[in-house]
Structure 1
């Protein structure tokens, strides 16, 4: 089993060395607004009451880390929040003493660490708010040591599709058009390509869904705000009319409501694992080096089946 040993690093979301930006295809998010949203959420009374989703995903990332038969002496938790991953690692790693940690305020797209520093980088539900995901993945690859591993999770494209559809239908009916109310997410087909471009190899990308039931749409939106997950797209609409919101809540309940009166909210999670190259890693055989063709394998299989029937 892997152990979270020696020293662990945590980098909270921040604005250090923030590169500015503004509305446009290459800068979809208002990063200053997102920082304000997260700071506001953290300052609320009992903010941990809304940690259920982050703790669940943090636990699933911890399980993937424990599947790696290695001890990591120095790790970086990118966008750690209230240590949602480390909490699970500490509970399972009962033989170790408390993990020393250091908090660093940094920007995911401009990590203030030297190359080849960490043996492990983890990130849970943070990278979906970066403007330049390819750059962020490249930065993660840079700070990893050779044979280091990145284990991360981010929201996928089907996240909150019920809320998105309900708001769009209500706004079309009441106002004759709609604007984005849920942030854009990366497609799973693009994620493996982006990891490969950043330099990672031996990639693993898989998807999962977590469904949470709420009393109604307004309770869901209140929880999203409390988690710091409110929309921060530059193209967002600043005001939602009361009549439109009431219509959206009715559409939500009519189209997706459960029999017990609650409404579901779906969170699609993309999990990713990528390794930084090292000479000791196993590599695929060279193209053309095979000693047997697929046709030969098929004949052998057919022959074996025939013998079983006899």
Structure 2
């Protein structure tokens, strides 16, 4: 009966993906002007998650799904790339969805060496190089990369504008950046339940779920970083769990636990139990499970070049929009 409860269901816009049953059984220390996340804690969380290979592979379902959608966007660009950098690659989610018709070599970069090498014994269709890289301090030379992709990593970066600027500067003219981040509505069910429980049991709240950005912010940040022909779109993935406890277990196994600097170190047992009850009462499904919503923001930006299309001058149109409509 327990194994049946562990079955998860990802709900997509046009398709439903059933997931398998689960059996339970060098970072720079330079200070930043503004810090939200403890990067050392995040590295330790990713190391710990990757150390348990069996557990972490079972919970790859979310990151694999988002990586597939990032890869689809790269495939839409009718160009064969020589080398592509996967920034914040984790254990290797994007590499599962690319082939030699898309690119020749993928450079996987992550701050966690254990995550990078978790699946080092796997064979892929493209050549793979692994580098330990902190997303906040990129080692790449200016105008040296054809393309950079990033899936569910930049949402843990303190200086996101600075990271985007570094990515753009590393791209060759007409190079492309394709990324995906968790959006502001991610895990809103868990966030509200924890806030209500803490207010009731502890007379106050603390940040239990990471603060996240929204699509309008990303659009402005891409333009501010100097990208052109920017595109931003939003999607949602909803996963059903037996209860809030299994959801938090999976987040921990993914290496996606809270790493906010101002977080409280412990969550009291009675507060956790209250949060789980509130979650099921406010958001529960009819079958007794609870939904967890992951909002994903996808972004595309191009490094300007001489061949970049430019908008026509104002008033140069030769057809009336009124006539077209």
TM-score bracket for the superposition, by shorter chain length: 0.7 to 0.9
Partner of residue 50, structure 1: 59
3-state SS of paired residue (1:42): helix
Question: Structure 1, unaligned stretches of length 5 or more?
Answer: 1-14, 303-310
> What are the residue-to-residue correspondences of 1:1-310 with 2, within 5 Å?
15-21=26-32, 26-46=34-54, 47-90=56-99, 98-291=125-318, 294=320, 297-298=321-322, 300=323
Query: Equivalents in 2 of 1:301, 1:94: separation in Å?
Result: 41
3-state SS of paired residue (1:192): helix
3-state SS of paired residue (1:282): coil
3-state SS of paired residue (1:167): helix
After superposition, the C-alpha distances for 1:56-102 in whole angstroms (9 at most, x for unaligned) are: 00100111111110011111000111221121113986999831121
Query: Aligned-pair RMSD on alpha carbons?
Result: 2.1
Query: Equivalents in 1 of 2:86, 2:94: separation in Å?
Result: 8
Name whichever of 274-283 and 91-100 sits farther off.
Answer: 91-100
Name whichever of 202-211 and 254-263 sits farther off.
Answer: 254-263
Name whichever of 41-50 and 205-214 sits farther off.
Answer: 41-50
TM-score (norm 1): 0.86
Give the 3 Å change call, closer, same or farther, for CA 151–174 of structure 1 in structure 2: same
Q: CA deviation at 1:36?
A: 0.5
Contact kept, 8 Å, 2:82 with 2:103, in 1: the verdict is: no
Aligned length: 281
Name whichever of 105-114 and 157-166 sits farther off.
Answer: 105-114
Give the 3 Å change call, closer, same or farther, for CA 192–95 of structure 1 in structure 2: closer
Contact kept, 8 Å, 2:37 with 2:259, in 1: the verdict is: yes
Q: CA deviation at 1:48?
A: 0.8
After superposition, the C-alpha distances for 1:204-257 in whole angstroms (9 at most, x for unaligned) are: 100000000111101100100110100011111111111111000000011111
Question: Structure 2, unaligned stretches of length 5 or more?
Answer: 1-25, 106-123
Bigger Rg over Cα: 1
Name whichever of 273-282 and 91-100 sits farther off.
Answer: 91-100
Contact kept, 8 Å, 1:75 with 1:119, in 2: the verdict is: yes
Name whichever of 281-290 and 171-180 sits farther off.
Answer: 281-290
Give the 3 Å change call, closer, same or farther, for CA 45–80 of structure 1 in structure 2: closer
Contact kept, 8 Å, 2:184 with 2:211, in 1: the verdict is: yes
Q: CA deviation at 1:175?
A: 1.0
Query: Equivalents in 2 of 1:154, 1:92: separation in Å?
Result: 26
